[in-house]
Chain A
Amino acid sequence: DARVTQTPRHKVTEMGQEVTMRCQPILGHNTVFWYRQTMMQGLELLAYFRNRAPLDDSGMPKDRFSAEMPDATLATLKIQPSEPRDSAVYFCASGQGQGSYGYTFGSGTRLTVV
């Protein structure tokens, strides 16, 4: 089964530290989404890419978050510096083209900032 792979699965870090989360989309998928899930806000769209180009990152706090796709097999989400309010589960999803076949989600990275 093709799957979206996210690493690490869990991350505990101290406030102020840099955090990098990685996502390997399904081979051949050219659209990648990043979401953040919390109990209070549900699933929030942070950023998304098509053909490695950022299309929309308006949901992302620009001062501390950054998202990139260095190549077609890797998407990264970085937080610097991290804050306790960033504690959440971060999901990556990938799909083909306009999303005709839907999107597949990774298992998420559970981030705890203490």
Chain B
Amino acid sequence: KQEVTQIPAALSVPEGENLVLNCSFTDSAIYNLQWFRQDPGKGLTSLLLIQSSQREQTSGRLNASLDKSSGRSTLYIAASQPGDSATYLCAVLFSGGYNKLIFGAGTRLAVHP
């Protein structure tokens, strides 16, 4: 079964810390992996998209890495700010047959001043 797991489930840190959010997936046959941000009561905003042939993608203070063979991705947030507080979701597009976009349960991040 194709599954996506995110660790930790929740994280509370003081402003300024560098953070690592983890995502693991059970099947290495993936097409790509996408990190999303979700604010309370809102929709999903795409942060980064990594193709299966890529090792990492960067956008501002965000860096996402992908190790397909070990079934892992990490989202690195540098110099965290209170505005980064949200839930971060990892979504894997599994290949083979019909591509399915499967989500992890998310990491709820709180950055306090």
Contact = CB atoms under 8 A, between A and B. Distances in A.
Contacts of B43: 91, 105-108
Interface residues of A, number: 22
Contact of B44 (A45, A91, A98, A101): A91
Contacts of B34: 102-103
A43 B42 CA distance: 13
A56 B98 contact: yes
Contacts of A108: 43
Contact of B101 (A33, A100, A101, A107): A33
B49 A42 contact: no
Contact of B100 (A42, A56, A101, A102): A56
A100 B99 contact: no
B103 A102 contact: no
B7 to A, nearest CB: 14
Interface residues of B, number: 23
A104 interface: yes
Contacts of B103: 35, 42-43, 45
B101 A103 contact: yes
A50 B32 CA distance: 18
B23 interface: no
B46 interface: yes
Given A102-B32, A105-B43, A45 B105 contact: no
Interface in B53-87: none
B23 to A, nearest CB: 13
A48 B100 contact: yes
Interface of B: 31-32, 34, 36, 42-46, 49, 51, 89, 91, 93, 98-106
State the 10 A-B residue pairs at the shortest beta-carbon distance, nearest first: A43-B103, A102-B49, A105-B44, A107-B43, A55-B98, A42-B105, A99-B93, A102-B34, A105-B43, A108-B43
Given A91-B43, A102-B46, A104-B46, 16 more contacts: A35-B103, A42-B104, A43-B103, A45-B101, A45-B103, A48-B98, A48-B100, A91-B44, A93-B101, A99-B32, A100-B32, A100-B51, A103-B101, A105-B36, A107-B42, A108-B43
